[in-house]
Amino acid sequence: MATGKIGVTTENIFPVIKKFLYSDHEIFLRELVSNAVDATQKIRTLSSFGEFKGELGTLDVRVTVDKEAGTLTVSDRGVGMTAEDIDKYINQIAFSGAEEFLEKYKDTANSIIGHFGLGFYSAFMVAKKVVINSLSYKDGAESVRWECDGSPEYTMSAGDRTDRGTDIILYIDEESKEFLDQIRIDTLLKKYCRFLPVPVISGKEQEWKDGKYVDTDRDLVVNATEPLWTKKPADLTDEDYRNFYSELYPGQDDPLFWIHLNVDYPFTLTGILYFPKIKSNFDINKNRISLYCNQVFVTDSVEGVVPEFMTLMQGVIDSPDIPLNVSRSYLQSDTAVKKISGYITKKVASRLEELFKADRAEYEKKWDDIRLFIIYGMLTDEKFCEQAMKFLLLKDTEGKYYTLDEYKTLVEASQTDSDGNIIYLYTTDPVAQHSYIKAANDKGYNVLLLDGQLDNHFVGLLEQKLEKTRLVRVDSDVIDNLIRKSGRKEADLTPLQRNIMTTVFNSQLPVIDKTSFLVSFEALAPTDQPIVITQNEYMRRMKDLAALQPGMNFYGELPDSYMLVVNTEHPLVVKMRDEASSALDAEIKPLADTVEKDNAEITAIRDAAKDAKLSAEDEQKVKDLEKAVADSREKQETIVRKYASGQPLVKQLIDLALLGNGLLKGEALSEFIRRSVSLL
Ligand code: ADP
């Protein structure tokens, strides 16, 4: 028997391993099983090259739990190891500064294990003693036994394996008894070894007999050795992809579609990405793509490896080129990873384009479901955005879909304003904004449906990307103002009429909490509504954004301000104007005239003084005049208000418009109903 010291540069690597890798102890199983799988694949390769001429026999890896003995054993029928191999690969874990390295990466257990040949030693995270019992495939090799109790000392002696391969026997320590539980081990194997390329056997298949589960004599194979992503896309059917999906994510709706990744240059990467059907909003978990390294599960937190928006997708990525055993920050700055991420983006985009081109009808059917991915992608990934412009669809209120080019062609002629801007009209709520949509449609304009949760941002993105194009919500002004054409008619009101009518409507506006109105007059078509209520596009967008982003409170606090647009061409309004004129002109005109006269006088005094200070006498004169103006204004107000309050039609028209915007509620609504009945 020989004894020796394991060749690490620090004396006490085991305590360090135990301490720092505490949270991820379970990884030891992955490491040991993948070593066994590697050894198995090596013998297969040697055999195929004729370097090993013996019988391969059944090649599998067995994981056995012996509760009584307190051991967990991983056995393989791979290449095995000679004493020299053990000395070289196990005893000489030679890398400098082990401790320094561990210190640096202590937060990421993965970063240490495997990367520097510490995989095997992770066994000491859970074992007080580890035994290797191995027989090499080499001619004339003798079985060798290596034993180590977790101190840097080991012993080597003759082993007792009679067939080729290796047993790694772990004497599980007190704190790690959980790893003697068959169910726990099976769960771990399912997690890490589910797709390993060599059958991994753990216990026996069970069957239901006499009221309980009992072992059969069939071995329980925990893995699928040829997962779908390792196969050629040409050999697979849609059914295969769907089945694999439901195997990965049981109980979910069928995926919308999938992308089979298969690259071998300039890096190796395979995988299948699925677009899941997203039922509602963003309450979906991110990080549903699992990363594998040569079919060994590594992680399902893929941030930094795949582009942000793809974290909404599901599936598997397998690459030996992603440096999985390093820290996350390193991963994110790694150029290989950036390339991979860029590649996946391109691939996803070209697959979408392909689907779009191959079967437009089918693509349109799926559009509403995939739209969220695409818009999220466009908003977060410049490159993807560029490509997505080709297969992005816009949907109008009639449920028709258009590409960006098609839509431009559709509306360019009719919806270009006098400044040469194309105006895209959109609605966020076709029910609530119905009357505005109708007004737009009546003019022959098209209205887009943008009611998704990212559309607020999407509208901004489109304006950035499309030349000379503006997007305006259909209710943000009267339609003729949204798309201003030359030769528009001005409101047909004398200054006095405008004055009177403004007060008439202002005085009858309801008081609504956190809401303000501004009265304006427009010459719309006689067939348009007599009064339209609109909300300024810019202010609304700011308020919407404020609602989403903390720190924009200023906009959030502002009242909702609406325009009350009075259609001066509508017969009812014309009638109202004329009636008000004949009822009030005689009384108001002299008052208005004095206001005009007084104001002119004030201006004259100021002008005469130029920039110099007014004399005390002039100062007093101006003051008196100003008071006179205010007084006669107030007189006018009182007269017009009194008149307006006797005109139920004014209130009725205002209320009708409010009702159309969902702004008439509670008592005001009851009052409206009562008044409506009495007017009938
Ligand atoms: P890594 O697998 O990253 O090289 P490990 O510490 O896990 O590091 O293993 C070191 C070496 O020990 C392996 O490269 C392999 O040569 C050898 N080895 C480990 N386990 C086995 C096994 N079950 N059969 C044959 N050789 C093995």
Reduced to 3 states (helix: H, G, I; strand: E, B; else coil), residue 314 is strand
Q: So what's the pLDDT on residue 578?
A: 94
Q: So what's the pLDDT on residue 328?
A: 54
Confidence band, pLDDT 50/70/90 cuts, at residue 415: very high
The answer to whether the CB of 165 is under 6 A from ligand 1 is no
Determine the Cα–Cα distance for residues 182 and 190; give it in Å rounded to an integer: 12
Element (H, E) at 218: strand 212-221
User: And the tokens for 484?
Assistant: 């201003």
Kindly give the distance from the C-alpha atom of residue 120 to the centroid of ligand 1, in angstroms, as a whole number.
6
Kindly give the distance from the C-alpha atom of residue 4 to the centroid of ligand 1, in angstroms, as a whole number.
19
Q: So what's the pLDDT on residue 112?
A: 46
User: And the tokens for 559?
Assistant: 């009242």
Predicted TM-score (pTM) of the model is 0.71
The answer to whether the CB of 81 is under 6 A from ligand 1 is yes
Kindly give the distance from the C-alpha atom of residue 612 to the centroid of ligand 1, in angstroms, as a whole number.
97
The answer to whether the CB of 39 is under 6 A from ligand 1 is yes
Sign of CA dihedral 417, 419, 422, 426: negative
Q: So what's the pLDDT on residue 612?
A: 79
Model confidence at 589: pLDDT above 70: yes
The answer to whether the CB of 40 is under 6 A from ligand 1 is no
Kindly give the distance from the C-alpha atom of residue 89 to the centroid of ligand 1, in angstroms, as a whole number.
7
Model confidence at 12: pLDDT above 70: no
Model confidence at 93: pLDDT above 80: no
> Of 173-187, 204-218, 320-334, 403-417, which gets the smallest average pLDDT?
320-334
The answer to whether the CB of 6 is under 6 A from ligand 1 is no
Cβ contact 594:632 at 8 Å: yes
Determine the Cα–Cα distance for residues 75 and 565; give it in Å rounded to an integer: 83
Q: Which one is predicted more confidently, 454 or 654?
A: 654
- Summarize pLDDT for 44-61 with one digit per residue, the tens: 999 998 999 999 999 999
Confidence band, pLDDT 50/70/90 cuts, at residue 487: confident
For 129-186, the three-class secondary structure string (H helix, E strand, C coil) is: EEEEEEECCCCCCCCEEEEECCCCEEEEEECCCCCCEEEEEEEECHHHHHHHCHHHHH
Q: So what's the pLDDT on residue 611?
A: 76
Element (H, E) at 386: helix 382-388
Confidence band, pLDDT 50/70/90 cuts, at residue 7: low
Confidence band, pLDDT 50/70/90 cuts, at residue 17: low
Write the CA distances from 440 to 447, 526, 664, integer angstroms. 7, 15, 23
Kindly give the distance from the C-alpha atom of residue 119 to the centroid of ligand 1, in angstroms, as a whole number.
8
> Of 442-446, 521-525, 660-664, which gets the smallest average pLDDT?
660-664
- Summarize pLDDT for 136-156 with one digit per residue, the tens: 999 999 999 999 987 778 899
Determine the Cα–Cα distance for residues 249 and 246; give it in Å rounded to an integer: 5
Q: So what's the pLDDT on residue 18?
A: 59
Residue written as token pair 């009822």: 583
Cβ contact 228:242 at 8 Å: no
- Summarize pLDDT for 488-533 with one digit per residue, the tens: 788 889 999 999 999 999 999 888 888 889 999 999 889 888 999 9
Q: So what's the pLDDT on residue 327?
A: 52
Q: So what's the pLDDT on residue 283?
A: 46
Q: How far is CA 610 from the centre of its chain?
A: 63
Reduced to 3 states (helix: H, G, I; strand: E, B; else coil), residue 598 is helix
Q: So what's the pLDDT on residue 95?
A: 41
Closest residue by Cα to residue 638 from 577, 579, 584, 599: 584
Model confidence at 117: pLDDT above 50: no
Q: So what's the pLDDT on residue 16?
A: 58
Choose which residue among 35, 44, 121 to substitute to test ligand 1 binding: the one with the highest number of ligand atoms within 8 A of its C-beta.
35
**Among 238-247, 337-346, 485-494, 669-678, which range has the highest average pLDDT?**
238-247
- Summarize pLDDT for 546-557 with one digit per residue, the tens: 776 666 666 667
Mean pLDDT of the chain: 86
Burial of 397 (0-12, 13-18, 19+ CB in 10 A): buried
| Strand 515-522, strand 401-402: pairing | unpaired
Q: So what's the pLDDT on residue 404?
A: 96
For the CA of 78, the nearest atom of ligand 1: 24
End-to-end CA distance of the chain: 112
Percent of the chain having pLDDT more than 70? 88
- Summarize pLDDT for 156-184 with one digit per residue, the tens: 999 999 999 999 999 999 999 999 999 99
Q: So what's the pLDDT on residue 11?
A: 52
Query: Which residues, listed in sequence order, are joined to residue 518 by a DSSP beta bridge?
Result: 563
Closest residue by Cα to residue 480 from 535, 439, 446, 449: 439
Write the CA distances from 497 to 501, 524, 529, integer angstroms. 6, 17, 20
Cβ contact 288:294 at 8 Å: no
Q: So what's the pLDDT on residue 664?
A: 87
